[in-house]
Amino acid sequence: MTEYSHAPEPLGVPTRRAAIRLIDAVLRRGESIEAALPAATRMVHGPDRGLAHAIAAETLRRLPDLDALIDGATARPLPPDAKARTALRIALVQALVLGTPPHAAIATVLPLVEGGPRRLVHGVFGTLMRGGATLPTLPALPEAVAERWRAAWGETMVEAAQAAIAAPPPLDLTLADPSATEQWSATLGGTSLMPGHVRLTGDHAPVTELPGFAEGAWWVQDVAASLPARAIGAGRGHALDLCAAPGGKTMQLAAAGWQVTAVDQSNNRLKRLRENLHRTRLKAQVVQVNLLDWAPAAPADAVLIDAPCSATGIFRRHPDVLHRVHPTLVAELAELQARILLRAADWVKPGGTLVYATCSLEPAEGEAQIEALLRDRDNFVLKDDTPGRILPGHIAGGNDGFFIASLARKN
Ligand SMILES: C[S@@+](CC[C@H](N)C(=O)[O-])C[C@H]1O[C@@H](n2cnc3c(N)ncnc32)[C@H](O)[C@@H]1O
């Protein structure tokens, strides 16, 4: 019988392997980090999973600048998908951004290029460290994204997006009871930008350990993401929350007095919506269906559509969107959004409100959808106080990118 002996891998190597798998999933297969996490981090546990995620996310956030450093230190450019390049990217991001001592950053990466260009990786990393390499204060966007956003929104927006990548995003909370804003701001040590909102910046305890989490006094929601339900406001009638899971906007509507029907097709995401409702003791009727095969029994006073989209507006927390969202994907999603929007418009009572939102920075998923709806249906008008386009830097201290249209159905 043959005996196999496996030398244990040096500490920290499986975590770096998981980080490389996450980066590959995004860059080669166009997957989101979130979708790739279970398979890529299968062999790592506890806090190491978080570390693998952080290394991958930080690498994707700073990818063009890391590649510029690597290209400046190699005689012949490494192919974009070479393992040596990804190994160098994660060694550099740890040393230059995450505060890992350089010897540890390289020692945990070299075993991953064993049998390959180990010496090259070691040499390039050493050269860059000895030369005092640094990353620019204003991170570069991938060229295709910068071009697309420059064409749509101008240079100022591109610079605001770059600044947003550099700053760690704050933690925004939405309160179930806006009249307690001052009290919760003080208890949590935060600041408030509007009633019902508290923002925490800098270090804080894990979310589930913060005061008020267990009793459901608030939920995590970027301030821009809270604007669609705010556009509907308080009410006693029936509100349809379409594409509702995991329920940020359902909870806002329920807390504002509406009888809410929350509709989504995803079982997993609806599970999180139910947990959120349970924790906050808020009520909603939950329906799991594909919206394209469903219609409500009766029209509603308010309809909110938080449509599935490219999510390019949430690039600060999900930097994978900068690398995997391409015009063809945007066009496909825009087609789905148009179908959902046209169906849902018919579910609004005369005199009622329709709010359409996407966390996207692509005009095709925002402005163009509403222009098309208004061309198609003359029974809707855009409200004067419609929030419209929310670009990075719109709200002091940072915000996700969003498009929000608030429309009235004529009587
Ligand atoms: C932007 S997310 C919703 C976020 C949610 N409104 C919140 O505030 O927490 C979009 C949602 O649309 C759902 N979705 C996508 N296509 C759908 C369809 N055809 N029918 C129903 N739900 C759909 C997805 O499952 C996803 O949960």
Residue-wise pLDDT tens digits, 201-223: 999 999 999 999 999 999 999 99
Residue 171: pLDDT over 60: yes
Average pLDDT over residues 360-368: 98
For ligand 1, say whether the CB of 308 is within 6 Å of any of its atoms.
Answer: yes
Among this protein's residues, is 359 annotated catalytic?
yes
Catalytic member of 90, 96, 112, 359:
359
Residue 80 has pLDDT above 50, yes or no: yes
292 lines ligand 1 (CB under 6 A): yes
Q: Model confidence at 116, in pLDDT bands (50, 70, 90)?
A: confident
Q: What is the pLDDT of residue 1?
A: 40
Q: Using alpha carbons, select from 93, 123, 91 the residue that is nearest to residue 107.
A: 91
Domains and CATH numbers, the chain: 13-130 (1.10.940.10), 221-409 (3.40.50.150)
Expressed in angstroms, the distance from the first to the final Cα of the chain is 84
Instruction: Classify the C-alpha dihedral 320-321-322-328 as positive or negative.
Output: positive
The structure's pTM equals 0.95
- Give the distance (Å) from ligand 1 centre to CA of residue 293: 14
Average pLDDT rounded to a whole number, residues 386-411: 96
pLDDT at 10: 75
Mean pLDDT of 304-325: 98
125-146 tens-digit pLDDT: 999 999 999 999 999 999 999 9
What pLDDT does residue 11 have? 83
22-39: per-residue pLDDT in tens? 999 999 999 999 999 999
Atom of ligand 1 nearest to the CA of 249: 8
Ligand 1 site, residue 201, Cβ cutoff 6 A: no
What average pLDDT does the segment 315-343 reach? 98
Atom of ligand 1 nearest to the CA of 308: 10
> CB under 8 Å, gap of 24 or more: what pairs does 149-153 form?
149/361, 152/361, 152/362, 152/363, 153/361, 153/391
Residue (of 245, 298, 302, 305) closest to 276 by Cα position: 245
CA–centroid distance, 262 to ligand 1, in Å, is 10
Global ipTM: 0.99
Ligand 1 midpoint to CA 290 (Å): 10
Does the pLDDT of residue 7 top 80, yes or no? no
Q: What's the CA gap between 322 and 142, in Å, rounded? A: 7
Task: Answer whether 83 contacts ligand 1 (Cβ < 6 A).
Answer: no
pLDDT score at 81 = 86
Mean pLDDT, to the nearest integer, of 43-58? 95
Measure 39 CA to ligand 1 centroid, in angstroms: 23
- C-beta of residue 332 within 8 angstroms of C-beta of residue 323: no
pLDDT value of position 3: 44
Position 2 scores a pLDDT of 43
**Average pLDDT in the chain:** 96
